[in-house]
Structure 1
Amino acid sequence: MYEWNEITQKIIDWIEEHICDAPTLMQISEHIGYSPFYCSTQFRRVTGRTIKSYIAARQLALAALALRDTEERILDIAVRYGYSSQEALTRAFSAAFGCTPASYRKKPLPIPLPIRQVVYLPEHYQAMKGAQDMSSTILTEANVRVEFIPAHKYMGIWDESAGNYGEFWQRHDCDAVCGIVDSMSHSSDLIITGHTAGWKRINGELRYFYGTGLPVDYSGPVPEGFEVRDIPGSYYLLFFHPAFDYLKDNGEVMSRVEQLAWNYDIEKEFQGGRYTWNEEACPCYQRHYPEVLGYQVLRPIRRKL
């Protein structure tokens, strides 16, 4: 049922590895082992776009990052990412982002960078492979430790109707939001980095947000639909599971960590009851980097008065 989600993900991964080599449909076909027509048809069915348009979008995104993060000549960047000339890059860049490469380099603004697609998800894997293939033997129990997060700012979409990740993305364009967050990576806070999401408690209910942390002195532009809030410094209880296999174990790991986090009795289990939650002043954060960091939920705490 989801065979072509898996195959399309392999196509996407191969394109990313060869993005500077002018990848062609014939090369993709030879790598995957299906005809060019079938690869093209199924890719469009799964992603909603053609292989050609996906490659062009990713080349433009990587060119934008090179403009922002390096001092290479614009012409060299253009050629590396498949453009026939600097003028060709300028036309594509201006049409997509409303500014020229030169002006963007001088003053990088938040722009909706086309992101690397992820079309093969844990639910697809489980439907194809079955629950018996889960690598449960390498999982551990969720644990808890303390972390201090200094004062910072957070720029994000604060959705007062969404209680979790799934509800949030039903209401927002994932590609557009994540692309804007990617474009802010040069400004992100060192601790609350880009794509750190979380929850804000409103009238006793947890409401989801998504975006990026920013340094406390950030005064730059704010994209439409985003809001910047000042977050005071606070200690957090960090509930975590170390790195794991995203496709095989994501659901189980997230469940273990969140059950511990949201049911933790701080009065009985931490520092003899001297601390309480600080969720009226600070948000809860969510870090989800499965095969690097693992999964973490952070809840702010304060000493009782």
Structure 2
Amino acid sequence: MHAWEAIEQSLAFIEENLTEEISTEELANTAGLSPFYFQRLFKRLVNKPVQEYVKLRRLAKAVESLSNTERRILDVALDYGFSSHANFTRVFKETYGITPEEYRKDLPMLNTFDRPEVSMNYVLVDEGIPLVVGNIVLEIQRKILKKPEIYLGLETQVCISRQIPVGESTSVDVPGQLWKRYHMEKVLVADNLSTGVEIGMSYMEDTMRDFFLYFAGGLAPNLPRSLPEDFVKKELSIGEYIVCRIEAEDFEYLVTTALNQASKYLFSIWLPHHSLTTEAFSVEKYYYDSEDMACMEIWVKPIPMKNRD
């Protein structure tokens, strides 16, 4: 068994026992490793200490349970190993910046910590070769966009350090909140939009070191004479792109766990291995006309590493 396979085995054990007490020693035994070596290997491959990871996965499951307003917050807390309502509230607010009561009131989208697919760090596929891992399918290829695409939507600033996967930090999901707002307000430009394609565009400005701008919008075959307040126009310009196609069984899993895992694989594994970096922007392109499977693509403009300066 490879070392990463031992960690994958312990991750599966954690998922199956999140409502039970989980000790580091027990996890080390399931992986067949000493507690000392297990903890070092786990932190290296998962980027979190063992018990910190267990806490974050319990909180992620608690967030799902809190959406059921018929359940008491105390019951949710006790289900996932928190000793009291007060202890759960403290940890929840430290992690997400809001209390469980505040979350239940507005149900904002949150950055929760997903179970990682450690095996993705050890698999490299060629262009045009699908990679099946966990519950997702990835395929990376080059595309040439010969005609610019125009999108209408909304944009906001996002703190880099407070977003998963780029900052590896849990908090309110600012891009997710922007999508909620866009889907409520897009009726203002509905006559100009295609119903089949939407994008989320992340890009940097020279004056913004700790933030990036995020745009959420729909493909606009026809432009209005004027835009409603707060709406902006963005262009996906012509040129060469690296495109990572992602498929999953349902849309919610696609735009959360699958997107995070695919982003990590593309930017941390695939591009560096091919001696590529990218321009300071990326696009998530969502397709709504696929009947068989939820699918989307990540578009980036490649730059050879030797030319990145």
TM-score, structure 1 as length reference? 0.52
Aligned to 1:236: 236
Aligned to 2:298: 295
Contact 1:192 1:212 in 2 (8 A): no
Distance 1:285 1:120 in 2: 24
Aligned to 2:176: 185
Letter in 1 for 2:236: Y
Contact 1:61 1:114 in 2 (8 A): yes
Distance 1:103 1:15 in 2: 28
Question: Is there any run of 5+ residues in structure 1 with no aligned partner, and where?
Answer: 127-132, 159-167, 217-229, 263-282, 299-305
Distance 2:210 2:90 in 1: 38
Letter in 2 for 1:232: V
Contact 1:19 1:81 in 2 (8 A): yes
Deviations 1:230-275 (A, max 9, x none): 56124424745243784797227987895xxx7xxxxxxxxxxxxx
**Mapped pair 1:251 → 2:271:** yes
Letter in 1 for 2:126: S
Aligned to 2:14: 15
**Mapped pair 1:38 → 2:41:** no
Distance 1:285 1:96 in 2: 27
Contact 1:20 1:80 in 2 (8 A): yes
Aligned to 1:149: 151
Equivalent position to 2:283, from 281, 286, 296: 286
Label 1:256 to 1:17 Cα distance change in 2 as closer, same or farther (>3 A).
farther
Distance 1:209 1:77 in 2: 34
Letter in 1 for 2:69: E
Q: Secondary structure at the match of 2:58?
A: helix
Aligned to 1:135: 126
Distance 1:85 1:243 in 2: 43
1:55 deviation in Å? 0.9
Distance 1:293 1:100 in 2: 33
Contact 1:241 1:253 in 2 (8 A): no
| Identical pairs, percent | 22
Contact 2:281 2:300 in 1 (8 A): yes
Q: RMSD of aligned C-alpha atoms?
A: 5.1
Equivalences, count: 232
Question: Is there any run of 5+ residues in structure 2 with no aligned partner, and where?
Answer: 130-139, 184-197, 219-229, 247-261, 287-293, 302-309
Aligned to 2:75: 76
Return 32-41 or 113-122, whichever deviates more.
113-122
1:296 deviation in Å? 0.4
Deviations 1:182-202 (A, max 9, x none): 376355356455xx53244x5
Label 1:118 to 1:242 Cα distance change in 2 as closer, same or farther (>3 A).
closer
Label 1:20 to 1:149 Cα distance change in 2 as closer, same or farther (>3 A).
farther
Distance 1:175 1:199 in 2: 18
Label 1:288 to 1:77 Cα distance change in 2 as closer, same or farther (>3 A).
farther
Letter in 2 for 1:142: K
Q: Secondary structure at the match of 2:176?
A: coil
Q: Counterparts in 2 of 1:83-94, with a 5 A limit?
A: 83-94=82-93
1:34 deviation in Å? 1.9
Label 1:40 to 1:72 Cα distance change in 2 as closer, same or farther (>3 A).
farther
Label 1:56 to 1:121 Cα distance change in 2 as closer, same or farther (>3 A).
same
Contact 2:157 2:211 in 1 (8 A): no
1:78 deviation in Å? 1.6
Label 1:182 to 1:149 Cα distance change in 2 as closer, same or farther (>3 A).
same
Contact 2:152 2:234 in 1 (8 A): yes
Aligned to 1:198: 203
1:152 deviation in Å? 0.8
Label 1:121 to 1:292 Cα distance change in 2 as closer, same or farther (>3 A).
farther
Letter in 2 for 1:153: E
